[in-house]
Amino acid sequence: MKFLIVGLGNMGDEYAHTRHNIGLDVVNAFILKHNGSLKSDRHAYKAEVKIKGKTCICILPTTYMNLSGKAVKYWMDKEKIDLSNIMVVLDDIALPLEKLRIRPSGSDAGHNGLTSIQEVLGTTDYPRMRFGVGNEYPKGRQADFVLGKWKTSEEPIVKLKIEKSVSAIETFVLQGIATAMNQTNNQTFSL
- Per-residue pLDDT of 20-40, as tens digits, reads 999 999 999 999 999 999 999
Cα–Cα distance measured from residue 146 to residue 80, given in angstroms and rounded to the nearest whole number: 33
Kindly state the percentage of the chain with pLDDT values over 90.
96
Q: What is the pLDDT of residue 64?
A: 86
Average pLDDT over residues 143-172: 96
State the chain's mean pLDDT as an integer.
96
**Fold of the domain spanning 2-184:** Rossmann fold (3.40.50)
The pLDDT tens digits for 30-81 are 999 999 999 999 999 999 999 999 999 999 999 989 999 999 999 999 999 9
Catalytic residue among 17, 20, 43, 111: 20
Average pLDDT over residues 83-103: 97
Amino acid at 13: D
Q: Which pairing describes strands 128-132 and 44-51: parallel, antiparallel, or unpaired?
A: unpaired
Q: What is the pLDDT of residue 180?
A: 98
The pLDDT tens digits for 162-182 are 999 999 999 999 999 999 999
Q: What is the pLDDT of residue 1?
A: 86
Work out the pLDDT band at 99, boundaries 50, 70, 90: very high
Catalytic residue flag (residue 17):
no
Is 43 within 8 Å of 77 (Cβ atoms)? no
Query: How many Cβ atoms sit within 10 Å of the Cβ of residue 83?
Result: 14
Average pLDDT over residues 119-142: 95
Quote the strand ranges of the chain, DSSP E. 2-7, 39-41, 44-51, 54-61, 86-92, 100-103, 128-132
Cα–Cα distance measured from residue 188 to residue 43, given in angstroms and rounded to the nearest whole number: 35
